[in-house]
Amino acid sequence: MELLNQVTQFVISGLATGAIYALIGLSFAIIFNSTGIINFAQGEFVMLGGVLTIFCINALQLPLLAAICAAVAGTTVIGLLFERLAIRPLKNATPLALIIITIGASILIRGVVMLLWGKDTQALPAFSGNDPISIAGATLLPQHLWIFGVTILVIVGCRLFFHHTISGKAMRACSFNPRAANLVGVSVGRMVLFSFVISAAVGSLAGVIIAPLTMTAYDVGVMLGLKGFCAAIMGGMGSGLGTVLGGLILGTLESLGAGLISSGYKDAIAFFILLLILFIRPQGLFKKGETERV
Amino acid sequence: MRKLITTALALFALLCLSTVAFAAPPIKIGGLFAVTGPASFLGEPERNTAQMVVDEINKAGGVKGRKIELITYDTSGDATKAVQLVNKLIKNDKVVAIIGPSTTGDSMAIVPVVERAGIPLISCAAGSKITEPVKKWVFKTAQNDGLAAARIYEQLRKERKTKVAILSVSDGFGSSGREQLKAQAKAYGIQIISDDTYGPKDTDMTAQLAKIRGSQAQAVICWGTNPGPAVVARNAKQLGLKIPLYMSHGVSSKKFIELAGDAAEGIRLPSGKVLVADLLPKSDRQKGSLLAFIKDYQNHYRAEGDHFGGHAWDAVMLLKGAIERGGDTPAGIRNALEATRNFAGIGGVFNFSPRDHAGLTKDAFTLVEVRKKDWVLVK
């Protein structure tokens, strides 16, 4: 019975962590889906969400909701500037060059945040208290429900946007074949800009809702970004359910691994899975071959 | 004519040399601190404090009339960089003694270098292995983590708790603490029934804690530095863990209470005395140094002095004493350092000897508990 309780706790904790990975994975996939770039500054967008919210609350004395909006807006502007100043000016750059630029940007953002707000870890107050909720012998914090809720909203939003709006379809078209998309009148540049804006917004939102749980500092983006990337790879870099499932599976396996096998192997498990998938199913766990028509 | 010029030049050269001798060049001391990087919470207050203390010594006329010049470099907590920088300090800057580095990893990396060069080093890191076994030129001011482990075990024995669970961070600090906890358990009649770790960047430790909750443990000892332990505290509260939670001295600053919030209530930890200087009885020998240090730091940096800064305070003051007694050569400083007795500093009362280059006993730690977002002494 005790073991059953424990396993329930492992799974529920894992799902909660997995939802965080999923959300970050989604923001990776959004950019990849319209540009083919893997944006390694994604973790920094997540970090910015949390750090800016805390800044707005402490220094500007804004109420929580306003602070969150300001932080997400702020990060979105940074995403926009990033695309305008670092990605756009490079005509015909190879994906590799672009990826290296995103790595550079991530180091730059981290450095600037460290200089502006210091190196200390900071915590955001939980949105709706810290009283644990018990579910089937396991406990969960109200903040976890926020994470689940926001993740679901973002998935639904992405789905609607990418499959049922002109802009979303245009963005997907760009990812499949930018040249062809251009020929039929899609402004590829604008779609790339869109994707950076949306993914910065999603990433920072993720950062905001996880900050009360995991706390935040200038360097939290690295690990979160990596795990989110893992989730996106598992989902085959799709912007939908695949990535979310990838994140949830990753979180659950990590948690089960830490609880049942040894906590020392937690990160090793994540990266082992990542490598395994890259070897066996580079197209992701849930993706069929590249036959989709747009 | 040529002879005249040569003589003039020789005279001039002599004059130059003698002026140098008259002006008494400053005594050069090196400082290696992890001011940036993951260990910056150690390195920054250490560098600040070292600079503050050196400035004060110089303002008061220096050591035996000679100024001290502190040359500090930032290791970023990177052992490779630490080795490069220590070579620079020894070869280019020609320092006579070095304080720092901030982390055990950095310290261990430069130990062979200072040993070979014969330059006294006063490390500000906590790992016991820095001075065990004793190395001729290496001293340290940070309390050994073994002493903190002993302090926790002593309390557990007092409360007749014999089964503990350990949860340590998987970095140098955590694994060293874990070794100490395991090594000393037997002496205190304690049985470690669960031994888990977490990654320094982990954000959820419920899996490990759920496992501990299901065990027979009567207390949990978590060994790490912020922010991990704050997450552990929050997760423990989330899981409704009923047994007492002990932390290491690695989180003994107000920052921990701030991060853990309500979940910090009731948590106990061994701490250097800086944190509770005003609560200490008047009879405590360190009280004078402690209050002076806290006041100074407050005046200089508008922040509370912590024990990390304290380690640097101790290192500089120990050096000052050693130079006063042993002269300004590396060998003289080393011998005088080794002969230091009863120096009541920030970290504790130091007694160095040829067999002990760490110099502290477990009295350097006091056990504190978090109550109403502040520290109280555990009797």
pLDDT, tens digit, for every residue of A89-136? 887 788 788 889 999 999 999 999 989 988 888 888 888 888 888 887
Could you read off the pLDDT of B341-370 as tens digits, one per residue?
A: 999 999 999 999 999 999 998 888 999 999
Chain B interface, mutation test: which of A21, A47, A119, most B Cβ atoms within 10 Å?
A: A119
Domain boundary among B244, B271, B298: B271
Q: Are residues B167 and B230 in the same domain?
A: yes
Question: What's the average model confidence in pLDDT over B30-50?
Answer: 90
Q: Are residues B152 and B266 in the same domain?
A: yes
Q: Are residues B55 and B77 in the same domain?
A: yes
Q: A59: which residues sit within 8 A by CB, 6+ positions away?
A: none
The strand pairing partners of A122, in sequence order, are A216
Confidence of residue B14 (pLDDT cuts 50, 70, 90): low
CB B334 within 8 Å of CB B321: no
Q: Rounded distance, CA B273 to CA B263, Å?
A: 23
Domains of chain A: 1-119+142-280 (1.10.3470)
Q: Quick check: B41 contacting A, CB < 8 Å?
A: yes
Q: Quick check: A104 contacting B, CB < 8 Å?
A: no
Comparison of pLDDT for B91 and B7, the residue scoring more: B91
The pLDDT, as a whole number, for residue B6 is: 64
CB contact under 8 A, B262 and A258: no
The strand pairing partners of A232, in sequence order, are none
- DSSP state, residue A41: T
**Enclosing domain of residue B67:** 27-143+286-361
Q: Quick check: A217 contacting B, CB < 8 Å?
A: yes
Domain boundary among B271, B299, B315: B271
Q: Quick check: B199 contacting A, CB < 8 Å?
A: yes
Question: What's the average model confidence in pLDDT over B326-350?
Answer: 93
CB contact under 8 A, A132 and B197: no
Q: Quick check: B255 contacting A, CB < 8 Å?
A: yes
CB contact under 8 A, A119 and B36: yes
Q: Are residues B162 and B180 in the same domain?
A: yes
Element (H, E) at A139: strand A138-140
Q: Rounded distance, CA B238 to CA B245, Å?
A: 13
Q: Are residues B197 and B102 in the same domain?
A: no
The pLDDT, as a whole number, for residue A52 is: 95
| Pick from B80, B48, B235, B78: nearest CA to A255 | B235
Four-point Cα dihedral A35, A37, A43, A47, nearest 10: -40
Could you read off the pLDDT of B282-295 as tens digits, one per residue?
A: 888 899 889 989 99
| Pick from A123, A135, A207: nearest CA to B261 | A123
Confidence of residue A137 (pLDDT cuts 50, 70, 90): confident
Q: Are residues B179 and B264 in the same domain?
A: yes
Distance, in angstroms, between B261 CA and closest chain A CA? Answer: 9
Q: Rounded distance, CA B11 to CA B17, Å?
A: 10
Token readout for B20 is: 């140098």
**Does the pLDDT value for residue B51 go beyond 90?**
yes
- Would you say residue B165 lies in a domain? yes
- Would you say residue B344 lies in a domain? yes
- Total domain count for chain B? 2
* Mean pLDDT of chain B, nearest integer: 89
Confidence of residue B127 (pLDDT cuts 50, 70, 90): confident
CB contact under 8 A, A210 and B262: no
Distance, in angstroms, between B308 CA and closest chain A CA? Answer: 15
Confidence of residue B7 (pLDDT cuts 50, 70, 90): low
Distance, in angstroms, between B110 CA and closest chain A CA? Answer: 26
Confidence of residue A3 (pLDDT cuts 50, 70, 90): confident
- DSSP state, residue A89: T
Q: Quick check: A210 contacting B, CB < 8 Å?
A: yes
Q: Please give the interface size between A and B, counted as residue pairs whose CB atoms are below 8 Å apart.
A: 101
Q: What is the CATH number of the domain that holds B151?
A: 3.40.50.2300
B206, B211, B230: residue with CB nearest A215:
B230
Residue B123: is it exposed, middle or buried by C-beta count within 10 angstroms (0-12/13-18/19+)?
Answer: buried
- Would you say residue B35 lies in a domain? yes
- Would you say residue B323 lies in a domain? yes
Distance, in angstroms, between B369 CA and closest chain A CA? Answer: 21
Q: Are residues B110 and B153 in the same domain?
A: no
Q: Are residues B297 and B204 in the same domain?
A: no
Could you read off the pLDDT of B184-229 as tens digits, one per residue?
A: 999 999 999 999 999 888 888 888 998 898 889 999 999 998 889 9
Question: What's the average model confidence in pLDDT over B18-37?
Answer: 79
- Would you say residue B2 lies in a domain? no
B41, B199, B258: residue with CB nearest A119:
B41
Confidence of residue A294 (pLDDT cuts 50, 70, 90): very low
The pLDDT, as a whole number, for residue A99 is: 87
- Would you say residue B374 lies in a domain? no
Q: Are residues B129 and B36 in the same domain?
A: yes
- Would you say residue B22 lies in a domain? no
**Does the pLDDT value for residue A5 go beyond 70?**
yes
- Would you say residue B251 lies in a domain? yes
The pLDDT, as a whole number, for residue B84 is: 96
Residue A123's closest chain B neighbor by CA? Answer: B259
Q: Quick check: A119 contacting B, CB < 8 Å?
A: yes
CB contact under 8 A, A121 and B234: no
| Pick from A84, A82, A125, A90: nearest CA to A216 | A125
Distance, in angstroms, between B128 CA and closest chain A CA? Answer: 23
Distance, in angstroms, between B76 CA and closest chain A CA? Answer: 13
C-alpha of B151 from chain center: 17
Could you read off the pLDDT of A72-86 as tens digits, one per residue?
A: 999 999 999 999 998
Q: Are residues B335 and B265 in the same domain?
A: no
- Report chain B residues whose CB lies below 8 A from the CB of A266: 198-199, 202
- Report chain A residues whose CB lies below 8 A from the CB of B214: 2-3, 5-6
Question: What's the average model confidence in pLDDT over B156-175?
Answer: 91
CB contact under 8 A, A6 and B259: no
Strands (E), chain B: 27-33, 68-74, 97-99, 121-123, 138-140, 163-169, 191-198, 219-223, 245-247, 268-271, 343-344, 349-350, 366-371, 374-377
* Mean pLDDT of chain A, nearest integer: 87
Could you read off the pLDDT of A245-284 as tens digits, one per residue?
A: 989 999 998 888 888 888 777 778 777 888 888 888 877 7
Comparison of pLDDT for A288 and A272, the residue scoring more: A272
Q: Rounded distance, CA A261 to CA A255, Å?
A: 10
Q: Are residues B136 and B157 in the same domain?
A: no
Q: Are residues B89 and B69 in the same domain?
A: yes
**Does the pLDDT value for residue A164 go beyond 70?**
yes
